[in-house]
Amino acid sequence: MRYPRIILAGAHSRVGKTTLTMGLILAMKKKGFNVQPFKAGPDYIDPSYHTAVTGRACRNLDTWLLSRDAVLELFERQARACDISVTEGVMGLYDGLRDQEEGSTAHLAKTLHAPVILIVDASSMSRSAGAVVLGYKEFDRDVDIAGVILNNIGSPSHYAGAKDAVEKNAGAPVLGFLGRDKGLTLPERHLGLIPTDERALFDAFSEKLLGLVEKNIDVDRIIGIGQKAGALPDFEKTIFTGEPARDRVRLAIAKDAAFNFYYQDSLDILQHYGADPVNFSPLHDKTLPPGIDGLYIGGGFPEVFASGLSGNAGLKDEVYNRAESGMPIYAECGGLMYLVKDLTDFEGRNFPMVGIFDASVRMGGKLAALGYVDIEVVENNILSGKDTRAKAHLFHWSGLNRLSGSQRFAYKVKKNQESHTDGLSKWNVLASYSHLHFGSDIRLAKKFIRSCHDAKETATKTGHNVR
């Protein structure tokens, strides 16, 4: 079966990939196409914009975190239900793990056999745009650069000159442009764009973007490029195998403005293997959902909403008490920050948190960690057994301090030649700065669900279950 698909890649970071991806999706939807969005790499925030404009959950495709077969399975699972798939790349086209191809947009394009539309920031060049595109085409001829979009064009003559240089010297069709316009800049903070959970996707912004894309970009030609994509490569299905589990557990998922960093495929994997998810808000809900057997608190911006999280004392107490009674809780990054004793924000204000772990978190003035890491499990926990190996991603500005010597760590994390501990572990709670994708190893999801089953059975036998 053929799956129409394109990848929008940047010549470098901050070239306008997210804005152009949104604009093209809006234009395709207006033409009646059912569009499935994807995002290359481990980003959580850009996908929230594509989810907002399509009404379909954007999926992450990461060729370092995930195997080739996993990438193809996750892509095909969503693409088969849509008319066309649009993937936003990560960083520059060829930027991957250190000096390797893995994790790059180019690697994903070759894995999916997908044509690439290269976005070039032409704000400070004209004829040189031809040299830039030629270099990108020649760097790896196995990458199909099927067209170019020029961004930050200053005038009609500027566009004409740059377009002519690209088409004559690089042999790539220029499919349109966007002009310089500060009104098309999406708001950012320390981790990137502000998630759509915190702000309305303003109708005026969307309408303006759509109008400019329709006026200046050949959307029909881009759709045609996607429709000409060849067959998807063969792959072995390894993730969503067999029928969904019948023996279920009820899993609470923290989802609100403070916590919204989740891979949708990871949530789907948990559901397939036996978890029935129910969302709740640590900011606004006064109690946990009834009848839950486990809790998953993802990443996000607890430092921005620390006052509200801290002030919701009843919920904090309930989370602590459920943890103490043995309910499994898995927390990532922002979730870890919520489970320690207190959090100090960028302004130096301190806020009491849940207090499961005898440690504090303080926001720093610069990135504390960024990039892919390898995990060696050194202590059995609710997700994995000792000596398990896993891949993960780090991206945080905070750090642990005032850590008591009694705290245990489940992970040894390695990046390049350096290593450090991670994965605070206590009772049936695991809290880590490392972000996992359950598609990289479904055994992690299965063990989490088994941990919830075991805790439920123990609570039932002792009469302590709350259902």
Position of tokens 């045609």? 224
Q: Residue 116, Cα to own-chain centre: how many angstroms?
A: 21
Count of positions (residues) in the chain:
467
DSSP-derived secondary structure for 196-228: TTSS---HHHHHHHHHHHHHHB-HHHHHHHHHT
Confirm if 93 and 106 have CB atoms less than 8 A apart. yes
Rounded Cα–Cα distance for residues 387 and 347 (Å)? 40
Cα Rg of the chain, angstroms: 23
H helix or E strand, kind and range, residue 259: strand 259-261
State the DSSP code for 100. Answer: S
Using alpha carbons, select from 448, 438, 446 the residue that is nearest to residue 62.
438
State the DSSP code for 441. Answer: -
DSSP-derived secondary structure for 309-345: HHH-HHHHHHHHHHHHTT--EEEETHHHHHHEEEEE-
Is 82 one of the annotated active-site residues of the chain? no
DSSP-derived secondary structure for 407-434: -EEEEEEEETTEEEEEEEEETTEEEES-
Residue 89 amino acid letter: G
Confirm if 170 and 130 have CB atoms less than 8 A apart. yes
Considering 58, 82, 333, 452, which one is annotated as catalytic? 333
Rounded Cα–Cα distance for residues 22 and 37 (Å)? 9
Tokens of 355: 């207090």
State the DSSP code for 280. Answer: E
Using alpha carbons, select from 137, 149, 140, 139 the residue that is nearest to residue 173.
149
Rounded Cα–Cα distance for residues 189 and 195 (Å)? 10
Active site residues: 333
